[in-house]
Amino acid sequence: MQFGILGNGSWGTALAKLLTDNGNTINWWNRSEKAINTIKTHKRNPLYLPSAIFDVTKLNLSSDINLIIAASDILVIAIPSAFAESVLDNLDKKIFDGKIILSAIKGILPGKNVLLNDYLKDEFDFPLEKYYTVMGPCHAEEVAAKKLSYLTFSGLNKDVTILIADSFKTHYLKTVINNDLYGVQYAAVLKNIYAIGAGIATGLGYGDNFLSVLIANSADEMAGLLRKAGILNAEMGYIDHSNPSTSIHTNYAASVYMGDLLVTCYSLHSRNRTFGTMVGKGYSVEASQSEMKMVAEGYNASKCMNILNKTIKAEIPIADTIYNILWQGLEPAEGFKKIEECLV
């Protein structure tokens, strides 16, 4: 299998590092020829995760996205959700025929307000059976530092899911698989929203006691939305530990659901928490965005989920309040007084 990566941000760089450390030669799209030359010369991405050193003999780099796609069997799409449509809309509608797509996008595409698989179905007639996802909890910075991490790979075909997951395994990366394509993607969207909330709370001066209750209630709110959306994994206490590498983990306590929520809310690596902290300290949304060198996926996600929930009709007062703070001008302190009243 020949992997191609679309996206050269911190997450795309981390996934490229995992694949090449595991002995895979990859095709990697980068729109900047200057960045490509720097990677070839200095063996590192100059803008993202510069501490990650690459074996450049395993990198086929190009600024021609069509060339990268044509040369690859499995395409890892690691473009931030806010920019994915602007890249993919320009491609030929048959370009993904015969390919497998592995989504590393942790957000909803805001233009059409859909997950990547639904966008690909509508725009490229791409079948769900050929679509897979890779989700956390896994901060790119810790991958670069080779700190032990876990990733969950989801797909409808168990054998192919295992095959893809095995390509990323290293001594510092363990893999888990499941078949919950919609659940893992919605969970990834929601945890970014709640991480912004955790950051706002921190910026407002709330302490660890409040933060723990906020996150616990956010976890329950997330599970409620997943159930309301028809996703059946939102249970706890059913992990089968007998064969963790190949068991289909779909329960809500597993790393890709609860674990990703926790690390995104608590970690100082979390761009969503950092963004929220700035908002809580009194920075405007616009000023907070301009200070960030990377995209905080939860910002657009809060609006997207607010729209989607008009159909799902789940009770999500925490996520709704974060949306109102970010998009409707609600004062953070006022919003969190409302959140205080709904926590248990």
CATH numbers and ranges of domains, the chain: 3-182 (3.40.50.720), 189-342 (1.10.1040.10)
Residue of 157 and 267 predicted with greater confidence: 157
Cα torsion angle, 107, 23, 169, 75, sign = positive
What average pLDDT does range 105-125 have in this prediction?
Answer: 93
Please provide the average confidence, as pLDDT, over all residues in the chain.
Answer: 90
What does the block give as tokens for 14? Answer: 């981390």
Which of the residue ranges 9-13, 56-60, 129-133, 316-320 would you say has the lowest mean pLDDT? 9-13
CB 72 within 8 A of CB 43: no
The predicted-structure confidence for 254-312, as pLDDT tens digits, reads as follows 778 888 899 999 988 888 999 999 999 999 988 887 777 667 888 999 999 999 999 99
Residue 231 predicted with pLDDT over 90: no
The predicted-structure confidence for 179-220, as pLDDT tens digits, reads as follows 889 989 999 999 999 999 999 999 999 999 999 999 999 999
What does the block give as tokens for 50? Answer: 């510069």
The predicted-structure confidence for 122-150, as pLDDT tens digits, reads as follows 999 999 999 999 998 888 888 888 899 99
CB 333 within 8 A of CB 204: yes
Write the CA distances from 307 to 19, 110, 112, 303, integer angstroms: 36, 10, 11, 6
Residue of 235 and 64 predicted with greater confidence: 64
Residue 21 predicted with pLDDT over 60: yes
Q: Would you state the pLDDT for residue 243?
A: 58
What average pLDDT does range 12-32 have in this prediction?
Answer: 93
